Amino acid sequence: MTEVDYFLSPLSPWVYLAGRRPFEVAARHGARMVLRPLDPAALFARTGGTVLADRHPNRKAYRDQELRRWSARLGVALNPHPRHFPVNPAPASYAVIAAQAAGGGDLAALIEGLGRAIWAEERDIATDEVIRDCLAQAGFDPGLADRGLLAGAETYARNLEAGVARGVFGVPTWVIGDEVIWGQDRLEFLEAHLAGLG
């Protein structure tokens, strides 16, 4: 079975906009999606990116336009300036790691729920209450928010190293072997690659 490594952060609006689509693409081609949450600020620092607060106003303005355009095209509610952004993505990432290891729920729903909490519901995904609610809504044991924190932290750090080693510089990114596909607007390339067309 083909394995798709999905490098992501639950903090990213682009991961939120990708939503279920990457999971659906993988399922159509019998591929296994493996979530690899990482720290986007650390990734930028390692690969030449710039966190939003330090970007030129022109880049910030264009980002706002792109978020507006894509949320309209996809029919996804999104506030480009939510109350709880940025926040520490580590606790939510640890929960994603724990949920993937535990199984029994819907990982796509968990990623969607965490994104919706920030970008549409004005909730803080660094809080235990919100993380537990998102886990429960996706069919996972909400107690995963409190378990395996050390293992989650170790995996989170390993994911960053693996991402840098494999050519990742932003999220969302899907890596299949040596093929790197970055951006929710490039899912057609993931589809084509898994179909053996590109």
The model's pTM is 0.96
The residues with which 5 forms a beta bridge, in sequence order, are 34, 175
Tell me which of 23-32, 145-154, 172-181 is least confident.
145-154
**What pLDDT was estimated at residue 149?**
84
Task: Say which residue the tokens 């840098």 belong to.
Answer: 164
pLDDT, the chain, mean: 96
Q: How far apart are CA 83 and CA 88, in angstroms?
A: 14
21-75 confidence digits (pLDDT tens): 999 999 999 999 999 999 999 999 999 999 999 999 999 999 999 999 999 999 9
88-104 confidence digits (pLDDT tens): 999 999 999 999 999 99
**What pLDDT was estimated at residue 69?**
98
Q: How far apart are CA 3 and CA 194, in angstroms?
A: 10
Report the percentage of the chain scoring pLDDT > 90. 95
**What pLDDT was estimated at residue 147?**
85
Task: Say which residue the tokens 């549409």 belong to.
Answer: 120
